[in-house]
Amino acid sequence: MNILVTGGAGFIGRHLVSRLVSKGHSVTVYDNFSTSKKDPIDSVKIIEGDVRDVDDVQRAMKGVEAVFHLAAITEARSSDDDLVYSTNFIGSKTIFEAAKANGAKAIFTSSAAVYGESKITKESDECHPLSQYGKSKLRAEKICPEGSFIARLFNAYGPGGHSVINKFCKLIPKYEDVTIFGHGNQTRDFIYIDDVVNALLLGLETSGTYNIGTGKETTVMEIIDIIHQMTKSKPNIKFAPAVSGEIMRSKADITNIQKTAWFPKTELPDGIMLVLKSQGFDFSVIEHLK
């Protein structure tokens, strides 16, 4: 299958592209490389372009049978509301219109940020996003072509990622300062990258809106404790004021996607260990201390 991946040079994109190539698909990456490295990706055509550029998008979409639309401003704390809106909504509109014109299936990575403050979120829940990021994702969902697959991703992490888990795995073993915004008891539903990719691949055959998470919530302080126990490195924690508008709890109801036979396979401690290994942590040192 001929597949286009917007934002394919990013964290999730690279993992997705690698899997698509391994399955024998012909893949093209479309990225502006504003937040990712312009490194070659084996067996993949790369087009440098902006998702808001109608002409470039139309050219990239020619002959494409499916498009994974990942390109976005992903920082929920971004202060540039105009950039977030133009990229995440106007850019998505451009992609979706080109997909529809070329008869391509659209798989869209939305976000749990569309829900706003909520204890446990179901796809049928009313959405009240707090950030411009969440608002832009929700608006983009509403203009997805008929038959699209919409993945509301919770907190993805893994090798090469930029999540709080990745940051803590880098800082704690080096005894560098770890900054906690607020009290550290805010929770997130952390989902490992391989499980995210497995869910996105369902989009080639499935339609609908799905939460992509584990159905479990973990506090920031619990993440620090897991890394501490694994590395035996005492974290140097610095507390900072809570970020205005940031949600306190996040947990996915994954009943809907589990009906497709998908389920998260990677437990949080196992995923954290894989991140630590990818960042060069030597567990043999810990074995020697026992």
Task: For 108-125, write each residue's pLDDT tens digit.
Answer: 999 999 999 877 889 999
pTM of the entire predicted model: 0.94
User: Can you read off the two tokens belonging to residue 21?
Assistant: 């190539």
Q: What is the mean pLDDT of residues 266-270?
A: 98
pLDDT for 42 equals 75
Task: Kindly list the catalytic residues.
Answer: 133
Q: What is the mean pLDDT of residues 264-268?
A: 98
- Are the C-beta atoms of residues 184 and 219 closer than 8 Å to each other? yes
Nearest Cα residue to 257 out of 134, 154, 106: 154
pLDDT for 217 equals 95
Mean pLDDT over the full length of the chain:
93
pLDDT for 180 equals 94
Q: What is the mean pLDDT of residues 246-275?
A: 95
Mind spelling out the 3-state secondary structure of 28-58?
EEEECCCCCCCCCCCCEEEEECCCCCHHHHH
H-type helices in 102-189, by residue range? 132-141, 164-171
